[in-house]
Amino acid sequence: MEDAKILIVGSGALGCEFLKNLALMGVCCSKEGKLTITDDDVIEKGNLNRQFLFRDWNIGQAKSTVAASVAGSINPNLHIEGLQNRASPETENVFDDAFWEGLDVVINALDNVAARMYMNMRCLYFQKPLLESGTLGAKCNTQMVIPHLTENYRASRDPPEKQAPRCTVHSFPHNIDHCLTWARSEFDGLLEKTPSEVNTFLANPSEYASSMKSAGDAQARDLLERVIECLDKDKCETFQDCITWARLKFDDYFSIRVKQLTFTFPEDAATSTGAPFWSAPKQFPRPLQFSVSDPSHLQFVMAGSILRAEAFGIPIPEWAKNPKKLADAVSRVLVPDFQPQKGVKIVTDEKATSLSAPPLTMLPSLMILSLSWMVVLRIFPQDSG
């Protein structure tokens, strides 16, 4: 493999891994060997957490040239060239017939299907082996395409992805994917969708109210509730308000919801057939007791309060990341005692795709009226005296 001539298309997360591995293996290290990597993208700050060949001082530089340089420092004998060309029909004057004829192997490290299809077509035409790989969240796939021996990339499609039932994700998670899905959903809802919805309402309250009235469904109800909570119940004006919000969120997520769930379905609960309700894969949960001495608990409040402050445009004090001072601030938060509610509907049907919600009757009008008053009070605040 020292004499191999290899093309890597893409120098992102996968491309960095391939470069590091090939450099450590001594591939393309003879005078006849050559490794070419091409990518038309530049390094951004968001790349640094997974594209480990790059550093913060590389931000704004071409990915391929930086990656090639770092790979060369791993193995000085590596014969490598970094190009800044997108693999597409427009660059076939660069990757011409002579270039393709001279290759031994092609490695895809791409992030979109269109480019994969194009590279697959070129490899088929020139009869070149192709190593195809891809990642999506915690998932990954790899496929070796060998001329006249295996099927090509385009010959098959991935089966439709099975999504975990919503009741499993929210109330009965039993693997890390369920937990990640839940956390991502909550993050997007609290820190992206809700602020965006609030901004839409504040930009044009009357138009927003009309659209909600015409919608009249469970989704509209959920959006209205989120806006009201953000502007009224959960409104934050100081950083201490943000700390309170984050502390109560911890209690809501990891204590109140668990206590309500186990109140509704005790450990000895049985199904309609008499079987134990809490049987595999369901696991009986235990509520967490918040402690400022637990680093993970304090980090949750720290991250939540800072993100909430960013969303509301509230200045973040210098002591926000000081564990001792933050613990003192958290200790001042009053956390109400848990009171179990009877008759709470918790969905357990795995075939249900969404949590049931009561039909919208007068509720939208009442919510919209509340929102209108919020705007009035926001524009014409009452005298504190």
| Residues 5-12, mean pLDDT to the nearest whole number | 95
Closest CA to 74 of 30, 23, 15, 26: 23
Q: What is the pLDDT of residues 61-73, one digit of tens each?
A: 999 999 999 999 9
Question: pTM score, two decimals?
Answer: 0.60
Phi, psi of 157 (to 5 degrees): -125, 150
Q: What is the pLDDT of residues 116-156, one digit of tens each?
A: 999 999 999 999 999 999 887 667 889 999 999 999 998 88
Q: Does the structure show a pLDDT above 50 at 48?
A: yes
Q: What is the pLDDT of residues 330-378, one digit of tens each?
A: 999 999 999 888 877 776 665 554 433 333 334 444 444 444 444 444 4
Active site residues: 167
Q: Determine the pLDDT at residue 362.
A: 41
Domains of the chain: 5-155 (3.40.50.720), 167-379 (1.10.10.2660)
CB 118 within 8 A of CB 89: yes
CA distance 249 to 259: 14
Q: Does the structure show a pLDDT above 60 at 184?
A: yes
CA 38 to mean position of chain CA atoms: 27
| Residues 17-42, mean pLDDT to the nearest whole number | 94
Q: Determine the pLDDT at residue 350.
A: 59
CA distance 285 to 256: 12
Q: What is the pLDDT of residues 268-320, one digit of tens each?
A: 988 888 889 998 888 899 999 999 999 999 999 999 999 999 989 999 999 99
Which DSSP category does 172 fall into? -
**Least reliable range by pLDDT among 5-9, 140-144, 221-225:** 221-225
- Confidence category of residue 383, pLDDT binned at 50, 70, 90: very low
H-state helical runs in the chain: 13-25, 63-74, 97-101, 113-126, 166-171, 176-188, 194-203, 205-215, 218-228, 239-251, 257-264, 295-312, 323-331, 363-379
CA distance 82 to 145: 24
Residues 6+ apart with CB under 8 A from 4: 27, 28, 33, 35, 104, 105
CA 370 to mean position of chain CA atoms: 33
Q: Determine the pLDDT at residue 196.
A: 87
